[in-house]
């Protein structure tokens, strides 16, 4: 048996193991999120819960301020390991940790200062009589999230090793700790937004702090980051790709996370709650498909570096079948949505069927696009994704504003989310087919 066949088989075997493990882990994560929603809602009430969801969306901006270095690391690390360049890999890890620290410390100081001098109640359209400690909540959350920002690179490290199940496990453990903390806050009777912010922000940080010594002192000491190997030239090796990832991440943030902020501004914070409930319900399928797709990213990088295009073609056929299955499941989720909402959150909040239908359409557009983008990301041909995600982000806010102004309807706001994401889906499909068939030229091959 040839080395190429052995590599292909070991890659597929590792892929299957990670998908199976990730299914179990993500299943637990989905269960945790489902439990978290009603507990947090009962603890804070509809208005304060909407405020917390809005703040959480803002924190996601900080979480993605790594200028794409996390994704750049996972791609470049996979390349180094495919060619058995361990010393370069270790220098890359050391340099990336250092560069992230250089980014986040001044960012944390600037954001803290802005919170102190700004009128955040006016900015977020929040009633001071209902939320008395907003600035304190924001400052504590920013400090905890910024600290987590550096150590979460451990997740990208495991993805570069083609072990996304480990990255998923770290996230699930953080969510589990957050649920336990939220339940304690609820049972204590304090029902404090500040306490909810602390337990939700500190939980993932604690998990990463514990994972760091286990990963680099016990499991992979040969790849442990050290100060002596910090080389910003090594970091620059991934900067070009990282910047492209960063712009796409930033565009995705505008599309995905500003929706909570815009809904709070265009309508009121209470309206964020039903929107988020429908999103979390249908995003179960998004999480499911992410579990399947995530291992393909760096497995594709490995296959592409070794010239194993047949493996990539075989892998995408499996995802085609999964996409059809998910579409059928989502149709069933729409049909039974009223029943699920009633069991899940009770009768306190009414969610219109049209909101469920549009949200299902939006999530499926993301899933269908993801089917191709994860392979394209693994190959590193990012130019077209960069252009179309940027265009979608630029168009989203003005189009959403006009839709709300003309209709005063959150449904049309969500329809705009579907519209701006559709062109990227079409282009992803065309580019992927060109790449695997060897016909990609010009911008299709960049």
> How many structural domains compose the chain?
1
The answer to whether residue 5 scores a pLDDT higher than 70 is no
Helical residues (DSSP H) of 83-192, grouped into ranges? 86-117, 120-124, 134-151, 153-160, 164-188
208 pLDDT tier (thresholds 50, 70, 90):
very high
On the 0-12 / 13-18 / 19+ scale of CB atoms within 10 A, 405 is exposed
The answer to whether residue 427 scores a pLDDT higher than 80 is yes
Q: How far apart are CA 119 and CA 309, in angstroms?
A: 55
- Residue 363: per-residue pLDDT: 93
The answer to whether residue 94 scores a pLDDT higher than 80 is yes
Share of the chain above pLDDT 70, in %: 87
- Residue 356: per-residue pLDDT: 93
Q: How far apart are CA 192 and CA 185, in angstroms?
A: 8
- Residue 21: per-residue pLDDT: 80
Inter-residue contact 52 to 191 (CB < 8 Å): no
- Residue 6: per-residue pLDDT: 40
Least confident of 6-10, 40-44, 422-426: 6-10
- Residue 173: per-residue pLDDT: 94
Q: How far apart are CA 74 and CA 219, in angstroms?
A: 18
The answer to whether residue 67 scores a pLDDT higher than 60 is no
- Tell me the residue range of the domain where 319 lies: 3-445
The larger pLDDT score, comparing residue 28 to residue 269, is at 28
191 pLDDT tier (thresholds 50, 70, 90):
confident
Inter-residue contact 76 to 237 (CB < 8 Å): yes
- Residue 4: per-residue pLDDT: 46
436 pLDDT tier (thresholds 50, 70, 90):
confident
pLDDT tens readout for residues 114-162? 888 888 888 777 888 887 788 888 899 889 988 888 888 888 888 878 7
pLDDT tens readout for residues 360-386? 999 999 999 888 887 787 777 778 887
Find the distance separating the first CA and the last CA of the chain, reported in whole Å.
Answer: 34
- Provide mean pLDDT across the span 305-333: 83
Q: How far apart are CA 269 and CA 259, in angstroms?
A: 11
pLDDT tens readout for residues 77-87? 777 777 778 88
236 pLDDT tier (thresholds 50, 70, 90):
low
Share of the chain above pLDDT 90, in %: 15
- Provide mean pLDDT across the span 207-230: 89
- Provide mean pLDDT across the span 308-329: 82
pLDDT tens readout for residues 102-116? 878 888 898 889 888
């Amino acid at each position: 048996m040839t080395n190429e066949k052995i590599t292909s088989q070991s890659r597929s075997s590792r892929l299957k193991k990670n998908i199976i493990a990730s299914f179990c882990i993500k299943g637990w994560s989905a269960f945790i999120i489902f439990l978290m929603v009603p507990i947090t809602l009962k603890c804070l009430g509809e208005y304060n819960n909407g405020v917390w969801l809005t703040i959480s969306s803002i924190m996601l901006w900080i979480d993605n301020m790594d200028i794409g270095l996390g994704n750049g690391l996972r791609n470049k690390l996979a390349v180094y390991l495919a060619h058995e360049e361990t010393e370069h890999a270790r220098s890359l890890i050391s340099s990336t940790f250092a560069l992230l620290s250089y980014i986040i410390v001044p960012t944390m100081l600037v954001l803290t200062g802005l919170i102190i001098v700004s009128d955040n109640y006016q900015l977020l359209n929040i009633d001071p009589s209902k939320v008395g400690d907003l600035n304190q909540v924001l400052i504590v959350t920013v400090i905890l999230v910024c600290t987590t920002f550096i150590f979460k690179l451990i997740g990208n490290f495991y993805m570069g090793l083609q072990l996304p199940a480990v990255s998923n496990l770290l996230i699930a453990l953080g969510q589990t700790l957050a649920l336990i903390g939220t339940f304690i806050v609820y049972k204590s009777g304090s029902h404090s937004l500040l306490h909810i912010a602390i337990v939700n922000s500190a939980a993932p940080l604690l998990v990463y702090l514990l994972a760091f010594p286990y990963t680099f002192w016990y499991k992979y000491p040969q790849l442990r980051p050290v100060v002596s190997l910090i080389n910003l030239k090594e970091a620059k090796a991934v900067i070009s790709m990282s910047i492209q990832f960063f712009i796409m991440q930033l565009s995705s943030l505008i599309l995905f996370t500003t929706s909570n902020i815009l809904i709070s501004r265009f309508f009121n914070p209470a309206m964020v709650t039903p929107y988020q409930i429908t999103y979390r319900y249908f995003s179960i399928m998004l999480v499911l498909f992410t579990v399947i797709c995530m291992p393909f990213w760096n497995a594709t990088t490995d296959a592409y570096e070794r010239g194993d295009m047949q493996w990539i073609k075989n892998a995408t056929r499996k995802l085609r079948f999964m996409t059809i299955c998910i579409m059928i499941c989502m149709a069933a989720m729409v049909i039974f949505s009223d029943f699920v909402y009633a069991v899940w959150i009770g009768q306190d909040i009414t969610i219109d069927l049209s909101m469920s239908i549009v949200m299902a359409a939006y999530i499926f557009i993301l899933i269908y696009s993801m089917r191709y983008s994860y392979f394209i990301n693994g190959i590193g041909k990012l130019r077209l994704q960069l252009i179309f995600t940027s265009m979608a982000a630029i168009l989203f806010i003005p189009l959403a504003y006009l839709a709300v102004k003309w209709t005063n309807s959150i449904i049309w706001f969500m329809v705009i989310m579907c519209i701006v994401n559709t062109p990227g889906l079409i282009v992803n499909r065309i580019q992927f087919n060109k790449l695997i068939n060897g016909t990609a030229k010009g911008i299709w091959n960049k």
